[in-house]
Amino acid sequence: MKKIKVAIIGAGSAGLSARREVAKVTEDYLVFDGGILGTTCARVGCMPSKVLIQAGEDVYKTTKFHDFGVYGQEHIKVNLPEVLTHVRKLRDRFVRAVEGGMKSWVDTHLIREHVELTGLYSLKTHSGEEYEFEKVIITTGTSPYAPEVLKGFESYLYSSDTIFEQVDLPEKIAVLGLGVIGIELGQALHRLGVNILGINRRRSISGILNPEINEYACKYFEKEMNLNFSGLSSVKEVDERLELTLGDGSKHTVDKILLSNGRKLNLDKINLSPLLHIKDKRGLPPINLETFQIEEHHHMFIAGDLTGDKQLLHEASDEGKIAGHNAVRSKPDRFKTRTPIGITFSDPNIAFCGQYYKQLIEEKVDFQVGQVTFEGQGRSIIKLKEVGLLHIYADTKTGKILGAEMMGPDNEHLAHLLAWCIQMNLTVNEVLEMPFYHPVVEEGMRTALRDLRHKLDPEPNVLELRMIND
Ligand SMILES: Cc1cc2nc3c(=O)[nH]c(=O)nc-3n(C[C@H](O)[C@H](O)[C@H](O)COP(=O)(O)OP(=O)(O)OC[C@H]3O[C@@H](n4cnc5c(N)ncnc54)[C@H](O)[C@@H]3O)c2cc1C
């Protein structure tokens, strides 16, 4: 059995950032991955999806041209095979960048095989090679999966792993699940001319937890696309197509189904669960979210999407970094996570940062909500994107900003600004003292902040300027 100091299982975003930290201290490590290299983010996730979304958004813009007095948009034609080729071309570029960053160590430190744990300090590759390690960092990520009702219909299914590989797409596709991935890909494909039927089990878009913004989003997206919120009940094959019966009894015939119903943890194949005494229903052990050690076995680390928490690229990279840093230290360091932020790159964007409305209510926090609608907001009018709502939450006593949920034009940027304010512990008045250019979407955010100030402070600093005290 070969002996190594650190084993890293998975060469995705978390595994790669873990490796970087480990390699700063020791050369005695190996990374194991038998899958296609290049990371989920660059190969089948964040990046190709955003290329497709950009194409859809730009095509959609042309439908507004006549409002500016510009004509000819009726001659615009989407060539879907060429759009998909473009997606793959940029995707390959992103993947090449990831692979380029791996060049210096793949020949010496990468084993191109999937592995499973054989004990608390040992693993085995699929070809049977065994290794003993002192520390292990497990970063095997997640995969799309088909629900029970679709068993036997596999040849009709696409997922984010396969859709970008298609040469062309059929006329009608059902998008199963309207979370972040479903609404992003569903809207992009709809705008590129695919007949989309979006299906969700409940009246919810992109997992928005603020009831008012969620309802606003449902109404907006169901106006643009064909959506159904009663779930998928049964499926039947009819003339090489699928007949879907939905929860409300309606029947729809589609060519394919795009799975966006959530992702399953890649736990089953690594054989971790049998080694644990304490684990949840999914087979996941409690993980220390400051060190990323498994609580029960401190020489074992879990990072990235496999933690089952905050499955986002920047979180996966941070977690990998922390796990790698600690795996080569005798005493682990504890790290603070960044202010939570999440963005759905739909048009308009949907986003949140800090704490959710639902969380604040459940935790009985004394807070106020400042609101603005982007309908009638100056810059949004100019952009012909007069749609959306922003709610900002602040602590009633201290005035500190706690969180925000939003849907609106360019809200990906507002979510960042507010997340940075939250992480800096800023109060509503302190943010209002910042510069706001004119005319910008950020002025909409200022309106919501002013609404908050009004609710928080009966005698506000109405000048919104810092006074000079000699
Ligand atoms: C369609 C889509 C869009 C997304 N968009 C965004 C976005 O806009 N912004 C954002 O922040 N996040 C986005 N994400 C999420 C983001 O891609 C993930 O959070 C991130 O890629 C997770 O990285 P990871 O290292 O945990 O997992 P991965 O990158 O999936 O890496 C896991 C690795 O483990 C390997 N592996 C699995 N089993 C084994 C085994 N037994 N042995 C060895 N190796 C194994 C796999 O081959 C894989 O290489 C998106 C995801 C998807 C699917």
**Where is 317: in which H helix or E strand?**
helix 313-327
Residue among 140, 183, 264 to mutate when testing ligand 1 (max atoms within 8 A of CB):
140
How far, in Å, CA of 153 to CA of 165, rounded?
A: 19
For residue 234, count CB atoms less than 10 angstroms from its CB and return exposed for 0-12, middle for 13-18, buried for 19 or more.
Answer: exposed
**pLDDT (0 to 100) of residue 269:** 84
* Cβ(41) – ligand 1 distance below 6 Å: yes
Residuewise pLDDT in 10s, the chain (470 residues): 999 999 999 999 999 999 999 999 999 999 999 999 999 999 999 999 999 999 999 999 999 999 999 999 999 999 999 999 999 999 999 999 999 999 999 999 999 999 999 999 999 999 999 999 999 999 999 999 999 999 999 999 999 999 999 999 999 999 999 999 999 999 999 999 999 999 999 999 999 999 999 999 999 999 999 999 999 999 999 999 999 999 999 999 999 999 999 999 999 889 999 999 999 999 999 999 999 999 999 999 999 999 999 999 999 999 999 999 999 999 999 999 999 999 999 999 999 999 999 999 999 999 999 999 999 999 999 999 999 999 999 999 999 999 999 999 999 999 999 999 999 999 999 999 999 999 999 999 999 999 999 999 777 667 999 888 87
HSE value, Cβ hemisphere, 13 Å, CA-based, for 427: 13
Give the helix ranges, DSSP H, for 259-312.
none
Cα(15) to centroid of ligand 1, in Å?
10
Q: Cis link prior to 48 (omega < 30° from 0)?
A: no
Residue 350 near residue 344 (C-beta atoms within 8 A): yes
* Cβ(139) – ligand 1 distance below 6 Å: yes
Looking at residue 38, its amino acid is: G
Going by C-alpha positions, the residue among 400, 401, 289 that lies closest to residue 334 is 289
Radius of gyration from C-alpha coordinates of the chain:
24
What ligand 1 atom has the least distance to the C-alpha of 115?
A: 42
Residue 173 near residue 196 (C-beta atoms within 8 A): yes
In this structure, the chain runs to a length of 470
* Cβ(136) – ligand 1 distance below 6 Å: no
**pLDDT (0 to 100) of residue 252:** 98
* Cβ(159) – ligand 1 distance below 6 Å: no
How far, in Å, CA of 32 to CA of 112, rounded?
A: 6
- pLDDT, tens digit, 9 for 90 and up, residues 40-89: 999 999 999 999 999 999 999 999 999 999 999 999 999 999 999 999 99
Cα(382) to centroid of ligand 1, in Å?
38
What is the token pair recorded at 323? 């796990």
- pLDDT, tens digit, 9 for 90 and up, residues 381-407: 999 999 999 999 999 999 999 999 999
* Three-class SS state of 449: helix
Determine the number of helices (DSSP H) and then strands (DSSP E) in the chain.
14, 22
* Three-class SS state of 114: coil
What ligand 1 atom has the least distance to the C-alpha of 314?
A: 11
Cα(377) to centroid of ligand 1, in Å?
38
Looking at residue 201, its amino acid is: R
Strands 401-408 and 349-354: antiparallel
* Cβ(339) – ligand 1 distance below 6 Å: no
How far, in Å, CA of 397 to CA of 90, rounded?
A: 49
Angle at 415 between CA 39 and CA 353, to 5 degrees: 80
**pLDDT (0 to 100) of residue 460:** 67
For ligand 1, atom 17: residue with the closest CA? 41
* Cβ(138) – ligand 1 distance below 6 Å: no
How far, in Å, CA of 70 to CA of 62, rounded?
A: 9
Angle at 260 between CA 254 and CA 266, to 5 degrees: 135
Strands 256-259 and 172-176: parallel
* Three-class SS state of 319: helix
For ligand 1, atom 42: residue with the closest CA? 114
* Cβ(399) – ligand 1 distance below 6 Å: no
Q: Measuring CA to CA, how many Å separate 254 from each of 30, 113, 240?
A: 46, 38, 10
How far, in Å, CA of 79 to CA of 16, rounded?
A: 36
How far, in Å, CA of 157 to CA of 110, rounded?
A: 32
Angle at 52 between CA 49 and CA 56, to 5 degrees: 135
How far, in Å, CA of 324 to CA of 309, rounded?
A: 18
Q: Measuring CA to CA, how many Å separate 152 from each of 46, 54, 147, 155, 327?
A: 29, 34, 11, 8, 43
Residue among 8, 17, 31, 41 to mutate when testing ligand 1 (max atoms within 8 A of CB):
41
* Three-class SS state of 257: strand
Cα(283) to centroid of ligand 1, in Å?
19
